[in-house]
Structure 1
Amino acid sequence: MSIRISTVRPKTSILDKSLSRGKGEVSISCYALLFLELVQYCQNRVYNVPELQNKLAEIGQDVGVRLIDLLFVRERNCKREIKLLNMLLFMKSTLWKTLFGKEADKLEHANDDERTYYIIEKEPLVNKFISVPKDKSSLNCATFIAGIVEAFLNGCGFPAKVTAHWHKGTTYMVKFDDSVITKDKQMEER
């Protein structure tokens, strides 16, 4: 006769769980439905395409602010980037992989302006399942992603304005504040 002793584990709350990577996969159809509802929600509260894009960018900014701590705790052991190029490469790779499961297609620097960088994505996930009516042909739902990127950069100490444009797919134009370029040059001189 054997006696079996089992241990009873106390239930753990969500606050006790690690921030390390869990299973980060989300069904693409679930995502598409959720984003479609978000776009419709915003569309019902605005009168024109620029207002709709601004609303999507605002919601994206809420997401971007929340991603800062999560990514730097997970990926960098709480160490933040202080150099501009390193931050841009972190966004192109780690931020994009976290959000979309792949890196952004390209990162380019503007030839005529040292403050301007471009993140190029041939087919953003947010535009993949959106059908745009002819009367709203200028609508680019990637302004949502532009809002995420802008809030992420601003929250990390790299003040910038980010806009989404139709060029080579979708191009996110990142225009940094003069103070960012000055600070980066001073760090290079050290």
Structure 2
Amino acid sequence: MSKNKPQKNILDRPINRSKNNQISLNFYTFLFSQYVQYTREHTPKTSDLGKKLSKVGESIGYRLFELNTYKDKIRKRELKPTKILLYITDNFWKKIFGKAATLHRTEDERGQYMIVPESSTDNQFTELVFGHLVCSEFVAGLIKGVLNSAEFNAEISPAPYTDDSILCFIIKFQQDILNRESQN
């Protein structure tokens, strides 16, 4: 008699089966640049290109957050914006880009934060052709997708940090989220 192993759920299997469980940087940049080129050819305005990249990043970020919370068996929903941002900069950013990002609270406004990555992989090979702020809209969309999935409404926009080679992502939460934080 042969013993049949129970079939694993597809969500329990590793996302990728490479040596280090990471996607090749060459593959990522090729796929990303091809998508940007395709979108650019089918989009008349550059501002629309940024919106489309953000929309795609948002849907991917939403799905990745749901998958990661299921795989990491996170059963508790975060209620504070700082906690979800720390999750994004530590856990989520490491899974997506291989390195953690840093989180800064801006002193200008209440409820405004900055995520500063160590290096910008999203525009490493595309900035010369398309403009680095437009291509960073994809990563801003990823962040927005994670925040939407966790039920935090916010505006995310890429901006130059200290020089033009490093970008940060400015996150401004809506007033109802800030009120929710002060109540808890």
Q: Does the pair score TM above 0.5?
A: yes
Aligned mates of 2:52, 2:64 — CA distance in 1: 19
Please, which runs of 5 or more residues in structure 1 have no aligned partner?
none
Matched to 1:82, the amino acid is L
**What is the count of residue pairs matched by the alignment?**
178
Question: Structure 1 residue runs of 4+, over 2 Å off?
Answer: 7-12, 14-17, 19-24, 74-80, 136-140
Deviation for aligned residue 1:139: 4.1
Aligned mates of 1:11, 1:36 — CA distance in 2: 41
TM-score w.r.t. length of structure 2: 0.86
User: What are the equivalent positions in structure 2 for 1:79-118 lying under 5 Å apart?
Assistant: 79-104=76-101, 106-118=102-114
Alpha-carbon RMSD = 2.3
Aligned mates of 1:43, 1:109 — CA distance in 2: 34
- 1:165 counterpart residue number: 159
Local SS of the residue matching 1:162: strand
Aligned mates of 2:58, 2:33 — CA distance in 1: 18
Preserved CA contact (<8 Å) 2:133 2:158: no
Local SS of the residue matching 1:125: coil
Deviation for aligned residue 1:30: 1.2
Please, which runs of 5 or more residues in structure 2 have no aligned partner?
none
Aligned mates of 1:60, 1:165 — CA distance in 2: 17
User: What are the equivalent positions in structure 2 for 1:11-90 lying under 5 Å apart?
Assistant: 12=7, 15-16=9-10, 18-19=12-13, 23=17, 24-90=21-87
- Higher Rg: 1
User: What are the equivalent positions in structure 2 for 1:103-142 lying under 5 Å apart?
Assistant: 103-104=100-101, 106-133=102-129, 137=131, 139-142=133-136
Deviation for aligned residue 1:115: 1.7
Aligned mates of 1:110, 1:51 — CA distance in 2: 29
1:150 counterpart = 2:144: yes
Deviation for aligned residue 1:131: 4.1
Preserved CA contact (<8 Å) 1:49 1:139: no
Preserved CA contact (<8 Å) 1:21 1:74: no
TM-score w.r.t. length of structure 1: 0.83
Percent identity between the two aligned chains:
25
